[in-house]
Amino acid sequence: MIPLSWYLIVSALLFSIGLYGVMARRNAVAILMAVELMLNAVNINLVAFWRYTAPDRAVGLAWAVFVLTVAAAEAAVGLALIISVYRRRDSVIAEELDTLRN
Amino acid sequence: MSEETLALLTWLIPAGPLLAFFVIVLFANRNRTLSWVLAWLGVFSSLILGWTVALSVATTDLHHLETHPTVVASAIDWLPVGDYFQGTWLKMGVAVDPLTAVMLIMVTFAVTMIFVYSVGYHNWGAPLGTILGVPNHMQEEPLLGRFFGYMSLFAGAMLLLVVADNLLLLFVGWEIMGFCSYSLIGFWHARDYHLSPESIPHIPPRSAAIKAFLTTRVADVVMLLGIVWFYRAFGTLNFSQALSAHSLEEAVVRIGAPALGIMALLLFTGTVGKSAQWPLHVWLPDAMEGPTPVSAVIHAAAMVSAGVYMIIRIYPLIAVGAGPHGNSAVSWTIAGIGAFTALMAATIAVAQYDVKGVLAYSTISQLGFMVAALGVGGYIAAAFHLITHGFFKALLFLASGSVIHGMEHGAHHVHDHHTDPQDMRFMGGLRHKMPVTFWTFFIGGMALSGLPLVTAGFWSKDEIFAEAWHSFEQGNALGIVVLVTLAVAAFLTAFYTMRQISLTFLGEPRTPLAEHAHESNRFMTVPLVLLSIFAVGAGWFGIPESFPVLGPIVNNNFFHHFVGATIYETMAELESLDLVNAAIETLPFSWVPLTASLVVALGGLFVGWWIYGRKALVKDQQDPLVRPLGPLHVFLNRKWYWDELYQVVFIKPTVSFSEKVVYEVIDKGLIDGILHLVALSFYKFGSYMKRTEELVFGQAVDWVKDQFLAMTKVSRQLQTGKIQEYVLVSVLIIAVLTAVILAVNYYGPVNEWFSQIALFVN
Amino acid sequence: MVEQIIFLIISAFTLTMAVIVVTKRNLFHAALALMAAFLGVAGLYVLLDAGFLAAAQLLVYIGAISILVIFAIMMTRRLMQTTEPAFNSQAGFALVTAVIGFGILFWVFYLFREIWPLIPDATVPLASKPELPQEVIRNSVVVMGQSFVDPAIYVLPFEIASVLLLAALVGAIIVAWPKAEDKA
| Alpha-carbon span B726 to B732, nearest angstrom | 10
| Alpha-carbon span B705 to B692, nearest angstrom | 18
Closest CA to B191 of B129, B148, B145, B149: B129
Rounded mean pLDDT of A8-31? 93
| Alpha-carbon span B346 to B407, nearest angstrom | 26
Number of alpha helices (DSSP H) and beta strands (DSSP E) in chain C: 7, 0
pLDDT value for B520: 84
- Cα B518 to its chain centre, rounded Å, is 35
SS3 call for B96: strand
Could you say which of C90, C94, C101 has the minimum Cβ distance to residue B735? Answer: C101
CATH of C1-82, picked from 1.20.120.1200, 3.30.2020.30, 1.10.3720.10, 3.90.1170.50, is 1.20.120.1200
Identify whether the C-beta of residue B86 lies closer than 8 Å to the C-beta of residue B367. Answer: no
- pLDDT-derived band at B20, boundaries 50, 70, 90: very high
Which residues in B664-680 are b (16+ Cβ under 10 Å) and which e? eeeeeeeeeeeeeeeee
Q: What is the pLDDT of residues B305-345, one digit of tens each?
A: 999 999 999 999 998 888 888 888 899 999 999 999 999 99
Min Cα–Cα distance to chain A from C74, Å = 10
Between the alpha carbon of residue B43 and those of residues B113, B277, B290, B391, the distances in Å are 9, 29, 21, 16
Write the CB contacts of B471 (distance below 8 Å, at least 6 apart in sequence): B376, B377, B378, B478, B479, B482
Min Cα–Cα distance to chain B from C97, Å = 6
- Cα B418 to its chain centre, rounded Å, is 34
DSSP secondary structure string, B310-372? Answer: HHHHTHHHHHHHTSSSS-THHHHHHHHHHHHHHHHHHHHHHT--BHHHHHHHHHHHHHHHHHH
Closest CA to B499 of B571, B592, B568, B427: B427
| Alpha-carbon span B528 to B543, nearest angstrom | 25
| Alpha-carbon span B178 to B215, nearest angstrom | 10
Write the CB contacts of B479 (distance below 8 Å, at least 6 apart in sequence): B376, B468, B469, B470, B471, B472, B473
- pLDDT-derived band at A20, boundaries 50, 70, 90: very high
Q: Does A89 touch chain C (CB under 8 A)?
A: no
DSSP secondary structure string, B431-484? Answer: HHH-HHHHHHHHHHHHHHHT-TTTSHHHHHHHHHHHHHHHHHHTT-HHHHHHHH
| Alpha-carbon span A100 to A51, nearest angstrom | 44
Which chain C residue lies closest to A23 (C-alpha atoms)? C94
Q: Where are the domains of chain C?
A: 1-82, 90-131, 132-179
Read off the DSSP letter of residue B581. S
Rounded mean pLDDT of C13-42? 94
Write the CB contacts of B430 (distance below 8 Å, at least 6 apart in sequence): B403, B406, B437, B438, B504, B505, B509, B514, B517
| Residue B699: other Cβ atoms inside 10 A | 10
Neighbours of chain B (3+ CB pairs under 8 A): A, C
Rounded mean pLDDT of B724-740? 90
Percent above pLDDT 70 for chain C: 91
Write the CB contacts of B124 (distance below 8 Å, at least 6 apart in sequence): B32, B33, B36, B140, B141, B144, B523
Residue B616: which region, alpha, beta or left (left: phi > 0; alpha: psi -120 to 50)? Answer: beta
Identify whether the C-beta of residue B103 lies closer than 8 Å to the C-beta of residue B387. Answer: yes
Rounded mean pLDDT of B698-727? 80
Which chain A residue lies closest to C113 (C-alpha atoms)? A5
Could you say which of A22, A31, A98 has the minimum Cβ distance to residue B720? Answer: A98
Min Cα–Cα distance to chain A from B752, Å = 27
Q: What is the pLDDT of residues B215-248, one digit of tens each?
A: 999 999 999 999 999 998 988 888 888 888 888 8
Q: Do A102 and B731 touch (CB under 8 A)?
A: no
A88 vs B601, more confident: B601
Residue C122 has pLDDT above 70, yes or no: no
pLDDT value for B596: 87
Mutate to test the interface with C, among B718, B724, B726, B733 (most CBs of C within 10 A): B724
Q: Does C86 touch chain B (CB under 8 A)?
A: no
Q: Which domains does chain A have, with CATH numbers?
A: 4-96 (1.10.287.3510)
Q: Do A68 and C50 touch (CB under 8 A)?
A: no
Q: Do A19 and B731 touch (CB under 8 A)?
A: yes
pTM of structure? 0.66
pLDDT value for B762: 67
Q: Do C71 and A92 touch (CB under 8 A)?
A: no
B694 vs B87, more confident: B694
Exposed/middle/buried for residue B733 (C-beta within 10 Å: 0-12, 13-18, 19+): exposed
Q: Does A19 touch chain C (CB under 8 A)?
A: yes
Based on its alpha-carbon atoms, the radius of gyration of chain A, rounded to whole angstroms, reads 17
C181 vs B169, more confident: B169
Mean of the per-residue pLDDT values of chain B: 87
Pairing state of beta strands B89-96 and B72-80? antiparallel
Q: What is the pLDDT of residues B565-583, one digit of tens each?
A: 888 888 888 888 877 777 7
Min Cα–Cα distance to chain A from B740, Å = 19
Contacts B733 to A, Cβ<8 Å? none
Percent above pLDDT 90 for chain B: 40
Rounded mean pLDDT of C23-36? 92
Identify whether the C-beta of residue B375 lies closer than 8 Å to the C-beta of residue B321. Answer: no
Farthest-apart Cα atoms in chain C, separation: 68
Mutate to test the interface with C, among A51, A53, A63 (most CBs of C within 10 A): A51
Angle formed at CA B180 by CA B179 and CA B182, multiple of 5 degrees? 65
The continuous run of DSSP H or E covering C136 comes out as helix C134-149
C182 vs C48, more confident: C48
How many residues make up chain B in this entry? 762
Q: Average the pLDDT over each of A68-77, B321-330, B496-505, C119-128 and give the range with the smallest value.
A: C119-128
| Residue B614: other Cβ atoms inside 10 A | 11
Identify whether the C-beta of residue B440 lies closer than 8 Å to the C-beta of residue B531. Answer: yes
Contacts C117 to A, Cβ<8 Å? 3, 5
Q: Does A73 touch chain C (CB under 8 A)?
A: yes
Exposed/middle/buried for residue B633 (C-beta within 10 Å: 0-12, 13-18, 19+): middle
Residue B493 has pLDDT above 80, yes or no: yes
Read off the DSSP letter of residue B121. H
Write the CB contacts of C112 (distance below 8 Å, at least 6 apart in sequence): B746
Percent above pLDDT 70 for chain B: 99
Contacts C108 to B, Cβ<8 Å? 742
pLDDT value for B686: 92
Which phi and psi angles does B164 have, rounded to 5°?
A: -65, 140
| Alpha-carbon span B463 to B389, nearest angstrom | 13
Contacts A101 to B, Cβ<8 Å? 719-722
C132 vs B426, more confident: B426
Q: Average the pLDDT over each of B45-59, B164-178, B495-509, C128-142 and give the range with the smallest value.
A: C128-142
Which residues in B295-329 are b (16+ Cβ under 10 Å) and which e? bbbbbbbbbbbbbbbbbbbbbbbbbbbbbebbbbe
Closest CA to A76 of C126, C60, B342: C60
Identify whether the C-beta of residue A73 lies closer than 8 Å to the C-beta of residue C164. Answer: yes
Min Cα–Cα distance to chain A from C177, Å = 8
* Cis peptide upstream of residue B452 (ω within 30 degrees of 0): no
Closest CA to B577 of B263, B380, B316: B316
pLDDT value for C33: 95
How many residues make up chain C in this entry? 184
Q: Do B727 and A100 touch (CB under 8 A)?
A: no
Q: Which residues of B touch A (CB under 8 A)?
A: 716, 719-724, 727-728, 731
Which residues in B542-570 are b (16+ Cβ under 10 Å) and which e? bbbbebeeeeeeeeebebbbbbbbbbbbb
Q: What is the pLDDT of residues B239-294, one digit of tens each?
A: 888 888 888 888 888 888 889 999 999 999 999 999 999 899 999 999 999 999 99
Contacts A57 to C, Cβ<8 Å? 143
Residue B595 has pLDDT above 80, yes or no: yes
- pLDDT-derived band at A77, boundaries 50, 70, 90: very high
Could you say which of C88, C98, C104 has the minimum Cβ distance to residue B724? Answer: C88
Return the amino acid letter for B75: A
Q: Does C100 touch chain B (CB under 8 A)?
A: yes
Q: What is the pLDDT of residues C55-92, one digit of tens each?
A: 999 999 999 999 999 998 888 876 555 667 878 888 88
CA atoms within 13 A on the CB side of B645: 9
Write the CB contacts of B321 (distance below 8 Å, at least 6 apart in sequence): B257, B258, B260, B261, B262, B263, B264, B265, B327, B330
Q: Do C108 and B742 touch (CB under 8 A)?
A: yes
| Alpha-carbon span B322 to B476, nearest angstrom | 12
Write the CB contacts of B726 (distance below 8 Å, at least 6 apart in sequence): none
pLDDT value for C80: 52
Rounded mean pLDDT of B87-114? 90
Identify whether the C-beta of residue B450 lies closer than 8 Å to the C-beta of residue B457. Answer: yes
